[in-house]
Structure 1
Amino acid sequence: MGFLSMLGVGNALPKVRQEPRLSASSGDVNPADSFQAGGPWHEFSLGGPSRSGVMVNERTTLSLPAVMQAVRILSGVFAMVPLHYCSHDNGGTHRLLNDPLYGLMNGRPNDAQSRYAFREILMSDILMAGNFYAYVSRDRFMRPVALTRLDPFAVQAYQSFDQATGQTMFYDATLPDGTSQRFPSRDIWAVTGMSRNGLQGLNPIAYMREAFGESIATATYVQNYWRNNGTPPVVLSADKKVEPDVRAAIKADWKAVVAGVHNAGEPVVLGQGLKADYMPINNKDGQLVETRTMQVLDIARAWGVPPHLIFELSKATFGNIEQQSLEFVIYHLGPHFARVADSATHAFAAYGCLFSHDPSDLVKGGFLDRAQGISALRNAGVVSTDEARSNFNLNPVGDDTGQQRWQPVNMGIAGQPAPAQPPGA
């Protein structure tokens, strides 16, 4: 493949098989209904309503409280955890606190966003769109100095393949200033969610559109029911035949007098032998509450969130809440930590270095458990006094005493004779 062809001049690069995408504004041209800016690479292939008859997009999906809480808890907790830049050698793993890459991920990713805000939108894009993209600004030595988040629906991934060098990725992207062009992979940091081709993440809203459509349709039904003051449907009947034009007039009169929020309590005087029979609505027999509960559980499954974290507490016992919190970090956030850290390592890390999340603050447990664990480490000589105090955000002792480690007197180095005891010991 020639150099000009790789830059997109001449024959187009073979396109990555596109996983189904759902535009945040597909099927609705009102900009107020879209949270994404879009761009010339935007596709609307999955626009249209779900089988339940409601529109499913980013706006309507986030209108569900369970969805909002699921995205908020995952992205918020993920943003709390620091992403360390470390070197790894035979001596262990060492944090490179003075390296510019450490500051890029833990200080200022750009001039517009804090570290927390940048990480929160990173995880939100993965959860809502399946992919996160950021433009990498570099200095004259080609070192990354800023990361600017891009609209995930305004980026299109392409690949080229060479038998000698393997796959190479390119991205057609629209930048925040409105310019669009093709960028090599070094200029675009791409973090993909769960994927079937390893190149593009699957869009959860697109693939689970029908499940979300059911929840939205159920919420719409409840809203319409209460909008009518909970008044059930009515049937007007008469013993004698009523002509069609008369039936239409009676229906119009009934709607004018009774229908609507402000008229639901108005009295009605029926003539011509008419009789009103209200059709009973039994939400218990219709299992409306059970249906909404199951829909909340489906939303929890969609993003891998324990139900109690989105306030579905019907079966919660709280007997092992600490263990559940630990499982949340390991099984639910753990894959996201690994995905982002490995992507950052692949894109930016030098040879022998890596990025790694440190979720230790999330698994500290209660005060007594922490105190007992740190005391055991202190007594075993694993940590010093200052290191133990740092776990409780306490200042160092301030002299060499705080840096000393204890050594249990009843232990020694394996294979060596025990040290002589001092007189009187």
Structure 2
Amino acid sequence: MLSDEFENAVNKALTADMVADKVDRLAITQESSLALTAVWACVRILSETVGILPIHLYRRTDTGRERQHGHPCNRILQTPNSFSTRFDLMHFLMISCTLWGNGYARIYRDKMYRPLRLKYYHPAKVEPVLTDSEELFYRLDSGEILPSSDMIHLKGLSTNGYKGKSPIAVHRDNLSLSVSAQKYGEMFFNQGGNMSGVFKYPSTLKPEAYERLKKDLLAQSIGVHKAHLPLLLEGGMTYERISIPPEDAQFIATRKFQKTEIATIYGVPPHMIADLERSTNNNIEHQAMEFVRYCLMPYLVRLEEEFNRKLLRHDEFEEYYYLFALNGLLRGDAKTRSEFYKNMNFVGAMSANEIRNLEDMNSYDGGDEYFVQMNMQTVKQAIDKNGSKKNQ
């Protein structure tokens, strides 16, 4: 009978404290995913990089293009409303897009149909609605319906063409593994860095003695401040570890792999979120340029086209356009830029003032002249000279 009582007590303790009776699925939301350092880093890098990029309004001319500083459509992006700046606008749209798959900003206009101000909307408060007649509207949580022309909509990867998918929702199972590994590490260190095991007793214990012994053992071993302290066992009791140590369970490798997986989801080079395992001084610069071309450019093109289509009036659409300035991100190191400018100047493709402008330097008188080397000639001139010599 004593063994039955002991067995019942053990089963009760096991089911109550040591073994979960069910496996709860971790709820990963857009907000809670930011607790993962890799998600936070990717979202921060993408949103802040787009936020720092200048965007200009240009007008097409017969000789090329010219900046439009005083145009209302240029000012609306520099001061979207009374409390934010261009950086804030881009930052908000990118954070919304990288977490929820969609970024929204409502356009308020004046009587001349010029954009007057922009109002930010949380992605959960806006729902795109496509009608049977292929017209797109936006339904706000207040019940108001807006036409597509009155809403800036930055969408991510989409399978229906009018609403982006949330990377967090699509990859929720993958992110759950990252959270599980993080919680596992937290539990491991909270338990003093000691893995679970069994205590072997040479005989049986009464339930009262078992409960007392269990309470004493847990009090001795649980907690970071009690890590690596020796256990005091009595009555011939011995301890045997039965769990796999973290290094054997590839705990560290799992966390590294998940960081790389999250970087892959967002298209961010791993070295930009502090994963330098496969990066060298020779390939980091090329990875940075690939980041601009293959990761940032899709977002920038979407923003440019959305601004062109919805901030400009129909009578301005062909004449004016928005364009992000990417020279600062793509120009490379000083030596590479110097060789590029030198070659462009030698063939007359760039003037000194154009080079100085790209380097944020003031222009000077006479710097707008174009020069070519005197010892260069066209192929036609070379053929004509050779032909005239033969005729002589």
Q: For the superposition of Structure 1 and Structure 2, which TM-score range results when normalised by the shorter chain?
A: 0.7 to 0.9
- Correspondence for 1:54: 26
Alpha-carbon shift at residue 366 of structure 1 (Å): 0.9
Q: 2:317 pairs with 351, 367, 381, which one?
A: 351
Provide, for residues 381-400 of structure 1, a one-character-per-residue CA deviation record: whole Å limited to 9, x for no partner: 22222222222222222x3x
CA distance in 1, matches of 2:328, 2:264: 25
Q: 2:125 pairs with 147, 151, 154, which one?
A: 154
1:76 aligns with 2:48: yes
CA distance in 1, matches of 2:50, 2:41: 14
- Structure 1 or 2: larger helix share? 2
- Correspondence for 1:48: none
Deviates more, 1:408-417 or 1:250-259: 408-417
Q: 1:409 pairs with 361, 374, 383, which one?
A: 374
CA distance in 2, matches of 1:324, 1:52: 39
1:190 aligns with 2:153: yes
SS in 2 for 1:145: strand
- Correspondence for 2:195: 232
Q: 2:290 pairs with 306, 314, 327, which one?
A: 327
Alpha-carbon shift at residue 88 of structure 1 (Å): 4.3
Alpha-carbon shift at residue 357 of structure 1 (Å): 2.1
CA distance in 1, matches of 2:72, 2:381: 45
Provide, for residues 115-172 of structure 1, a one-character-per-residue CA deviation record: whole Å limited to 9, x for no partner: 112111111111001001111111121210211211111111112233xxxx212212
- Correspondence for 2:20: none
TM-score if structure 2 supplies the norm length?
A: 0.84
- Aligned partner letter, 2:101: G
- Correspondence for 2:6: none
Alpha-carbon shift at residue 263 of structure 1 (Å): 4.4
Write out aligned runs for 1:124-203 (5 A).
Answer: 124-162=95-133, 167-174=134-141, 180-203=143-166
TM-score if structure 1 supplies the norm length?
A: 0.77
- Correspondence for 2:74: 102
CA distance in 2, matches of 1:301, 1:278: 38
Deviates more, 1:265-274 or 1:60-69: 265-274
- Correspondence for 2:275: 312
- Aligned partner letter, 2:343: A
Deviates more, 1:351-360 or 1:264-273: 264-273
SS in 1 for 2:131: strand
Write out aligned runs for 1:106-117 (5 A).
Answer: 107-117=78-88
Q: 2:209 pairs with 230, 242, 246, which one?
A: 246
- Correspondence for 1:338: 301
1:52–1:210 contact (8 Å) kept in structure 2:
no
SS in 2 for 1:146: strand
Write out aligned runs for 1:30-69 (5 A).
Answer: 53-69=25-41
CA distance in 1, matches of 2:74, 2:298: 22
Aligned-residue sequence identity (percent) comes to 28
Aligned length: 357
- The CA RMSD measured in Å over matched residues stands at 2.4
* Max Rg structure: 2
- Aligned partner letter, 1:136: I
- Correspondence for 1:363: 330
Provide, for residues 359-399 of structure 1, a one-character-per-residue CA deviation record: whole Å limited to 9, x for no partner: 121011111211221122222222222222222222222x3
CA distance in 1, matches of 2:372, 2:232: 94
Q: 2:255 pairs with 292, 306, 313, which one?
A: 292
Alpha-carbon shift at residue 209 of structure 1 (Å): 0.4
Deviates more, 1:257-266 or 1:93-102: 257-266
Provide, for residues 192-234 of structure 1, a one-character-per-residue CA deviation record: whole Å limited to 9, x for no partner: 1110011100011111001111001100110111112212224
CA distance in 2, matches of 1:417, 1:318: 45
Gaps of 5+ in 2: 1-22, 384-392
Gaps of 5+ in 1: 1-50, 419-425
Deviates more, 1:143-152 or 1:348-357: 348-357
Provide, for residues 328-354 of structure 1, a one-character-per-residue CA deviation record: whole Å limited to 9, x for no partner: 111111111111111222222333133
CA distance in 1, matches of 2:370, 2:307: 36
